[in-house]
Amino acid sequence: MTLEIAVFLSMNGRAGEAIAFYKQNLGAEELLVVTYEDMAKRELNFQLTEENKHCISHSVLKVGKTKLMIAEEAMDTSQSFRIGNNFSLCIQSADQKEIQMFYSNLTSDDRVTILVPLKQNVFSGAYGIVQDPFGVQIQLMYDNRLK
């Protein structure tokens, strides 16, 4: 089975600072860092400015056996940042059908809100975000690197 769940933190413009903090204080290993500048190279419509080009679009740290993902922005950009709405669960699998099944299961419950419909994007063959009835935001992502 290739399934894993990681904690995802949105840092309201302080992702780089948070990454450095966790590396220094928790011995986190940096597995991946993607800046807005990197994203602009992949996605032509990405809004890149001189001020945001070094911001973190996505990162993956490993603390012990746990993955911690950190980015600048919240999953639901219609909400203003506040402590408490800055985390989500990221369910990843190298089995795209498994991700599609989870998405179908979750969205069949009328209490679940779809924030980003499951679809292909520049970094995944299937990526979406939902919010469960308890306010927890869940990212679903196919990632063939987990094989």
CB 89 within 8 A of CB 138: yes
Q: What is the mean pLDDT of residues 45-49?
A: 85
If one counts every other C-beta atom within 10 angstroms of the C-beta of residue 103, the result is 22
What residue numbers bound the domain in which 7 lies?
A: 3-142
Q: What is the CATH number of the domain that holds 93?
A: 3.10.180.10
Q: Is residue 11 part of a domain?
A: yes
This prediction has a pTM of 0.72
Mean pLDDT of 79-104: 83
Selection from 118, 46, 127, 63 nearest residue 92 by Cα? 127
Structure tokens at 133: 């009835």
Q: Is 147 a domain residue?
A: no
Span 63-78, pLDDT tens digits: 888 899 999 875 555 6
Q: What is the pLDDT of residue 32?
A: 95
The b-or-e profile of 76-97 (16+ CB within 10 A means b, else e) is eeeeeeeeeebebebbbbbbbe
- How does pLDDT run across 2-23, given as a tens digit for each residue? 788 889 888 888 899 999 989 9
Give the per-residue pLDDT at 10: 87
Give domain status of residue 31, yes or no: yes
Residues in the chain, total: 147
Q: Which of 86, 63, 64, 89 is nearest to 76 (CA)?
A: 86
**Using CA atoms, how far apart are residues 70 and 35, in angstroms rounded to an integer?**
11
Looking at the structure of the chain, the number of domains it has is 1
pLDDT digits (tens, 9 = 90+) for 94-141: 999 999 999 999 999 998 999 999 999 888 899 999 998 878 888 999
Q: What is the pLDDT of residue 127?
A: 95
